[in-house]
Amino acid sequence: MHTEPIPTKRRGRFRFRLRTMLIAMTLLAMLSGWYGRHAYRKSIERPVVERIVARGGRVGHDYQREDRRAEPPGPALARSVFGDDFFATVVSVWFAGYGYTDEDVQAITRLPNLRELNLQGELITDASVDSLLKIEKLESLGLGETSITPSAFGRLQQLPNLKRLRMTLERSDKEYVATLKHFKSLQFLQLVGSDATDAEFESLAELRELRELRVLNCVHVSDQGIAALQSLPKLELLNIFGTEVEGDCLQSLATMPSLKHLSLLNCPVDDEELAALGAAVSLEELMLRNTQIADKGIQSLAALTNLRVLNVEDTDLTDEVIETLLGFKELVRLDIGKTEITDKGLMQLVALQQLEYLDVSLGEGISVVGARTFQKAAPHCELRCIEWYPDGTAAAINVLTGEPEMD
């Protein structure tokens, strides 16, 4: 009897083809789902982004949070087809200009991953607060000259992740600052142009999580209001500019163990008042530009051995202070522009082997030749030379040629 052989190979080939087809279908389904998720998100994001940009605003994506020049994520080929933003998500929005309305704020609630938002414009009213409260992932908020009232503004304390707040206040706004004490989770606060007084500022001492505070052009804030911040246990950075602070608060600030960065720009602080900071041994950065200090004031800070950045531009320092500066062994950045330090003092600074940046002003004290000699002796240090002209303008000077730098 003749028996036909069993076609085992064909059955194996069939099983192989079926398995391959199932794998391909699975991969195709995964790819379709992956594409669908991104496409759906972009279908929501892109109309909102177009609306913002058309009004002069800007947006930032997740991959740009650390470096705005970073390369977009995802395969280059896919991005060339679907767009550079296809695999990214919008996390930041800046409204530039004053034509924005409550409707624009409502539109951005369709950006579910928004972390940072900057608003400005008098057409933005209390109605926008309800919209803002829908952006639950919001961490950073900037408000500039809106028509949101203090009572409505206070509701923003309900934002569960809000950590950073910047406010530019050009009208009577004491009530806004008084409300801030309820924003218990704030870690960063910047106030610009507020007419708040010491009474309102003293209430900021209730912000126990605050790490950074910038007080700019708040003309009614004095030493009393700043001294009240002494009780903030986590404050690391304090920037004071354009206030009535004269220096009496420094004794209180010197007792803050967490304070690392202190800026007293354009404050009438003198040597006697500055001496109180000699006890602030945790300081790593001290900005004293355009104060009334001289050599004695800096000499009283000799114990601040952790200093890494020091700005004494536009003060009365002379070569007598160089010995003290040489004691700041951790110093990496120093600005001695518009002081009375001479070429002789400049050359002594060569001993600061860890110094990376040095700013000086050319003139009667420091010459181009002196700057050039320093640069040759300290190639590790980037030297920036500024020449000031009688009309108040200035130019960066090339040390090698003695001519203004080309932009």
Check whether 22 has a pLDDT greater than 80: no
pLDDT at 387: 92
Q: Which of 21-30, 91-100, 142-151 has the lowest mean pLDDT?
A: 21-30
Token digits of residue 47: 């109309």
Is 144 inside a domain boundary?
Answer: yes
Stretch 36-59: mean pLDDT: 83
User: For the chain, what is the domain count?
Assistant: 1
- Is 87 part of a structural domain of the chain? yes
Residue 350: inside a domain: no
Mean pLDDT of 219-236: 96
Q: In b/e form, how buried is each residue of 31-56, taking b as 16+ CB within 10 angstroms? A: eeeeeeebeebbeebeebbeebeeee
- Residue 33 confidence class, pLDDT cut points 50, 70, 90: low
Please report which confidence band the pLDDT of residue 125 belongs to, taking 50, 70 and 90 as the band edges: very high
Among 88-97, 170-179, 200-209, 308-317, the range scoring the smallest mean pLDDT is 170-179
Mean pLDDT of 336-359: 97
pLDDT digit string (tens) for 129-182?
999 999 999 999 999 889 999 999 999 999 999 999 999 876 567 889 999 999
Residue 43 lies in a domain: yes
What pLDDT, on the 0 to 100 scale, is given for residue 67? 81
Residue 44 lies in a domain: yes
Q: What is the mean pLDDT of residues 299-315?
A: 98
Range of the domain at 40: 32-162
The percentage of residues in the chain with a pLDDT greater than 70, rounded to a whole number, is 89
Confidence of residue 407 (pLDDT cuts 50, 70, 90): low
In a domain, 82, yes or no: yes
Spatial neighbors of 166 by CB under 8 A, at least 6 apart, are: 118, 140, 141, 142, 143, 188, 189, 190, 192
**Domain assignment of residue 89, yes or no:** yes
Q: What is the pLDDT of residue 21?
A: 63
Please indicate whether residue 6 or residue 318 has the higher confidence score (pLDDT).
Answer: 318
What pTM does this model have?
0.87
For residue 287, name the pLDDT band (cuts at 50, 70, 90): very high
- Residue 11 binned pLDDT confidence (cut-offs 50, 70, 90): low
Residue 347 belongs to some domain of the structure: no
Lowest mean pLDDT, pick from 162-176, 261-275, 283-297: 162-176
* Of 86 and 139, the one with more pLDDT: 139
Cα–Cα–Cα angle for 303, 306, 307, nearest 5°?
A: 90
| Least confident interval from 77-91, 205-219, 232-246 | 77-91
